[in-house]
């Protein structure tokens, strides 16, 4: 059925890429088809694959956006993750646009903590003067994430809450020991370490990153989607987060009490088995973790 829909879509469509998206939405219809869903999906605008009609809510306050979650709404910030999912046939009844909430876009440094609003774009994370002064290493890494068009639209909150194992912010924040500030539907704000496996339900309002003197941060993103590696190092020790290799980014901490090569070998040996998929086998990911960590620890060593 999948193959037939692809062939059918290709012969009927104008552009190959567009028809692929159509084929996906058709396939997902086949998988869970109901007459109501079918009717909704057949609303096609212009030359596009269908985006089913939805209701839109554009609040100006964090609390109102958080309360809307009770209605089963989905948040839209830059749309980098959500819009392609809608194109691929994801059906959403209500969308809450976050772009009108000014309080999500603030950046401040106070009491040794950098607080970055969840609605801050990649472009600002890479270039905002407060961030480049407080965490120049993070800003430098983020100058290389995505392309200029995405950097101006995508938000750090979206990167995190998309919960995509290949995205870069979760490994970075694990290495930097960040805390999430989440607005709960009942109006309270709750803090949770980014490490926690269970983030409370609600709207991510901001991210707090502790500013540790002498802490350096580097991230290897050149081997994605095989693996990514975020490393922060200071006198006391290192925090290393691995992306792409597990269902969720994995954090390890250890003391910097040996040569980079020896530390990296022990680190890789103690890792749980990384996933094997069409990209790479687990053994290769483990080997890369060792090689890349040794390289990064050498780069971070005091000169």
Partner 1 sequence: MTDSIAIALTLNGSALRASVAPELMLADFLRDQCGLTGTKIGCDQATCGACTVLMDGVPAASCATFAWQVDGAAVTTIEGLAANGALDPVQEAFKAKSAFQCGYCTPGMILLAKALLAANPAPDRATIRDWLSANVCRCTGYQMIVEAVEDAARRRREAPR
Q: Which residues are at the interface with partner 1 (CB under 8 A)?
A: 15, 17-18, 21, 43, 45-49, 51-57, 79-80, 83-84, 87, 94-95, 97, 99, 147-150, 152-153
Residue 100 or 237 having the CB closest to partner 1:
100
Give the residue among 90, 101, 246, 237 at the shortest CA–CA distance from 165: 246
Spatial separation of the C-alpha atoms in residues 51 and 95, rounded to whole Å: 12
Residues making up the chain, counted from first to last: 303
Q: Please report how close the Cβ of residue 88 comes to partner 1 at its closest, in angstroms.
A: 9
Output the smallest distance, CB 68 to partner 1, in A: 9
> Closest distance between partner 1 and the C-beta of residue 76, in Å?
8
We find the least distance from the C-beta atom of residue 12 to partner 1, in angstroms, to be 15
Q: Please say which residue, 103 or 153, places its beta carbon nearer to partner 1.
A: 153
Alpha helices (H) in the chain, listed in sequence order: 2-12, 16-32, 35-41, 62-67, 82-87, 122-127, 129-134, 136-142, 148-153, 156-161, 169-175, 260-270, 282-300
For partner 1, the closer CB: 87 or 216:
87
Q: Judged by CB, which is closer to partner 1: 42, or 55?
A: 55
Rounded to a whole number of angstroms, the minimum distance from the CB of residue 61 to partner 1 is: 16
Find the shortest distance in angstroms from Cβ 144 to partner 1.
9
CA–CA separation, 263 and 233 (whole Å): 13
Number of neighbours of residue 41 by Cβ within 10 angstroms = 19
Alpha-helical regions (H) of 218-274: 260-270
| CA separation, residue 195 to residues 50, 174, 259, 279 (Å) | 38, 6, 27, 26
Chain center to CA of 156: 7
Residue closer to partner 1, measured from CB, 45 or 278:
45
Nearer to partner 1, 98 or 114 (CB): 98
C-alpha to C-alpha distance for 25 and 295, rounded to whole angstroms:
43
């Amino acid at each position: 059925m999948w193959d037939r829909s692809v062939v059918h879509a290709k012969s009927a469509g104008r552009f190959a890429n567009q028809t692929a998206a159509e084929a996906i939405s058709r396939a997902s219809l086949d998988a869970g088809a109901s007459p109501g869903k079918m009717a909704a999906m057949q609303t096609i605008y212009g030359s596009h694959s269908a985006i089913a009609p939805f209701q839109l809510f554009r609040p100006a306050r964090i609390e109102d956006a958080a309360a809307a979650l009770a209605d089963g709404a989905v948040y839209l910030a830059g749309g980098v993750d959500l819009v392609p999912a809608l194109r691929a046939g994801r059906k959403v009844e209500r969308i809450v646009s976050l772009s009108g909430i000014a309080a999500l876009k603030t950046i401040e440094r106070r009491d040794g903590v950098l607080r970055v609003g969840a609605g801050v774009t990649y472009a600002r994370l890479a270039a905002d003067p407060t961030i480049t002064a407080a965490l120049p290493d993070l800003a430098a890494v983020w100058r290389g994430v995505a392309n200029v068009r995405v950097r101006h639209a995508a938000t750090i909150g979206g990167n995190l809450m998309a919960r995509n194992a290949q995205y870069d912010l979760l490994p970075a924040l694990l290495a930097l020991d960040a805390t999430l500030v989440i607005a709960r539907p009942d109006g309270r704000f709750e803090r949770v370490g980014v490490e926690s496996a269970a983030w409370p339900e609600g709207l991510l309002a901001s991210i707090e990153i502790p500013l540790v003197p002498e802490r350096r941060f580097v991230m290897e993103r050149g081997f994605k989607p095989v693996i990514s590696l975020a490393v922060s190092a200071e006198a006391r020790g290192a925090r290393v987060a691995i992306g792409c290799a597990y269902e969720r980014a994995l954090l390890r901490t250890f003391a910097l009490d040996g040569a980079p090569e020896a530390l990296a070998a022990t680190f890789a040996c103690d890792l749980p088995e990384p996933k094997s998929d069409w990209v790479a086998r687990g053994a290769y990911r483990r080997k890369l973790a060792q090689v890349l960590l040794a390289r990064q620890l050498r780069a971070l060593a005091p000169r």
